[in-house]
Amino acid sequence: MPRVDPSRANPFRPGFGVSPRVLAGRDELLEEFDTALDEGPGSPLRSILVSGARGMGKTVILNELEEAARVRGWLIIRLPESGGILEELASTILPAQLAELDSERAVRRRVTGARVAGIGSLSTTAQERYEVRENAATLIARLLDVLAGHGTGVLFTLDELQAVDRESVAAFAALYQHLVRDERDVALAAAGLPVGVGQLLQHRGTTFLRRAERVQLGPLSDADVIDAVRRTVEGAGGEISADALAALAESVHGYPYLLQLAGYRAWRESAGGALTPAHVRATSRVVSQRMGRLVHEPALRDLPQAQHSYLVAMAQDDGPSSTGTVAARLGLTAQHANVFRARLIERELILPAGHGLVDYSLPYLRDHLRREAASS
């Protein structure tokens, strides 16, 4: 019986929240964050707010930022997406972290016989120590004291920011702001869908977050896609021609989720041989449809009718649309149409494409809207 070579297993990962085998692009942001961690408290890039469409790689970026902090010996605290953030921190997350740090230190002391500076305030057993409920601020301060002894700090991460209760985010923002003012070694990386993040920042209590570095996660360059696909395929013992790489980059449009999906499908089509343009072309129907179901439909679900109509009017064009023509198609004044245009740009569904032009920012959205129109 032929044995399946495990190294030839499909290396692409078309799922949400799944880190890729090979990360494409994003070097600049990661380098800046590295620098911010090394620079010490006060660096503005220590607070990062990532926004982007579904599948643009937000969760993956948070994972990478966590990794950057982890290799520096920082502690990572993932803030809960539901429930009260401060309550969860005070009741479970921080006590657990403190207890763990203490036991590590206890082990190390036993092994090395050395005394660790600053241990005095943490010298009884974990159980006794954390029976009395203390608030999040006190516990974080204590955690940071311990970490300061190692020259490290805490990175807080928060995913799906658009879905988190605003009051809860505001309460955490206030606490975080104090830590920054006190020049503690803290960093924060949060990610969410564009509109949700925008709305959250309108909230009174989150003013401070408005000063965080805003990163709008955009598409990858074709060169980055090609490089990542080649390394993914070759790293798994496969082969791909230059033509196939070019075809793949063209169908992916720089969209990370599609890179994984098209790569996965093309790999499967190739059935163990070298990947060719024909294998890539065979994926195109599935790629467009899957994109519609998993990305376009959710993105359009809560869209006000007028903005939806604007998108549909754009779908008559095969490339970027003239804003004047779209207004005329809708029977609107240029001024009125501009309101919808601005909202759609805010949602990162369209983007300016040169003077008086707009284009979709999600690949295959045109196809999706045309299919939708044809079936209704």
Ligand X SMILES: Nc1ncnc2c1ncn2[C@@H]1O[C@H](COP(=O)(O)OP(=O)(O)O)[C@@H](O)[C@H]1O
CA torsion angle 87 90 96 97 (round to 10):
110
CB of 57 to Mg ion, least distance (A): 8
Q: Which of 62, 60, 51 is nearest to 259 (CA)?
A: 60
Q: Is 63 in the site for Mg ion (CB under 5 A)?
A: no
Q: How far is the CB of 21 from Mg ion (least distance, A)?
A: 18
Nearer of residues 158 and 244 to Mg ion, judged by Cβ: 158
For residues 130-157, one letter each, b for 16 or more C-beta atoms within 10 angstroms of the residue's C-beta and e for the rest, the string is beeeeebeebbebbbebbeebebbbbbb
Q: How far apart are CA 337 and CA 90, in angstroms?
A: 49
Considering CB under 6 A, how many residues would be counted as binding ligand X? 25
Task: Give the interface size with Mg ion as a residue count (CB under 5 A).
Answer: 2
Element spanning 269, H or E: helix 256-270
Select the residue interacting with ligand X from 34, 54, 171, 227 (CB under 6 A). 54
The nearer residue to Mg ion, 21 or 178, going by C-beta atoms, is: 21
Distance CA 147, CA 130 (A): 18
- Say which residue the tokens 């590295």 belong to: 34
Whichever of 341 and 347 has its CB closer to Mg ion, that residue is 347
20 binds ligand X (CB under 6 A): yes
Minimal distance in Å, beta carbon 173 to ligand X? Answer: 22
Radius of gyration (C-alpha) of the chain in whole angstroms:
24
Quick one: which segment of 59-67, 199-207, 325-333, 347-355 binds Mg ion (CB under 5 A)?
59-67
Q: For residue 222, what is the enclosing H or E element? A: helix 222-235
- φ/ψ of residue 166, rounded to 5: -65, -40
Of 58 and 347, CB closest to Mg ion: 58
* Angle subtended at Cα 142 by Cα 136 and Cα 144, rounded to the nearest 5 degrees: 100
Least distance from C-beta 10 to ligand X, angstroms? 13
What pairs with residue 360 in β-bridges?
350
Q: How far apart are CA 58 and CA 52, in angstroms?
A: 7
Select 46 or 58, whichever has its Cβ closest to ligand X.
58
Looking at residues 196 to 235 of the shown chain, list those that interact with ligand X (rule: CB under 6 A). Answer: 228
Alpha carbon distance 329, 350 (integer Å): 17
Are 352 and 366 contacting, i.e. CB atoms less than 8 angstroms apart?
no
Candidate list 49, 60, 252, 358; residue touching ligand X; CB under 6 A = 60
- Quick one: 30 or 106, whose CB is closer to ligand X? 30
Q: If binding is defined by CB under 6 A, does position 260 make contact with ligand X?
A: yes
d(CA 222, CA 114): 54
Decide if 309 contacts 363 (C-beta within 8 A): no
Let me know if 268 is exposed, middle or buried by CB neighbors in 10 A (0-12, 13-18, 19+): middle
Among 59, 152, 157, 232, binds Mg ion (CB under 5 A): 59
In the complex, least distance from residue 297 CB atom to ligand X, rounded to whole angstroms: 14
* Interacting partner of 292 out of ligand X, Mg ion, none (Cβ under 5 to 8 A depending on kind): none
Residue closer to Mg ion, measured from CB, 66 or 317:
66
Longest dimension (CA), the chain: 81
Stretch that binds ligand X, among 74-82, 182-190, 254-262, 303-311 (CB under 6 A): 254-262
Which of 23, 90, 187, 236 contacts ligand X by CB under 6 A?
Answer: 23
- Picked from ligand X, Mg ion, none, the partner binding residue 254 (CB below 5 to 8 A depending on kind) is none
CB of residue 64 to Mg ion, shortest distance in Å: 13
* C-beta closer to ligand X: residue 63 or 168: 63
Lay out the site mask for Mg ion across 333-372 (x = CB under 5 A, - = otherwise): ----------------------------------------
When binding is defined by CB under 6 A, the residue of 24, 233, 244, 248 that contacts ligand X is: 24
Q: What distance in Å separates the CA atoms of residue 26 and residue 58, rounded to the nearest whole number? A: 11
User: Which residues of this protein are in contact with ligand X, per CB under 6 A?
Assistant: 13-20, 23-26, 52, 54-60, 228, 256-257, 259-260
